[in-house]
Amino acid sequence: MTKASIVQKLLEKKQITAEEAVVLLKDDTYNPPAYPVYAPNPYYEHPPDITGTPPVWCSTNTTSET
């Protein structure tokens, strides 16, 4: 089933006018999805420095103070 066949049925039953049929059969304009513009991370080193000591993200301190 196509748009044209549906519009034809509606025209035959006089449920729409010829002007309405033209509007329904007119090609829709394509609106592509909007994607955000790429913004580079200002804190990223390019190329990254891999010669230095990596940052420490955890601690080996096992003492607990109560």
40 or 65, which is more confident? 40
Evaluate whether 3 touches 24 at the Cβ level (below 8 Å): yes
pLDDT in tens, 9-59: 999 999 999 999 999 888 777 778 888 777 777 777 666 667 777 666 776
pLDDT at position 16, please?
94
User: Rounded to whole angstroms, how far apart are CA atoms 8 and 5?
Assistant: 5
Residue with tokens 């829709």: 28
pLDDT at 6 over 60: yes
pLDDT at position 64, please?
63
pLDDT at position 32, please?
81
User: In terms of pTM, does the model score above 0.75?
Assistant: no
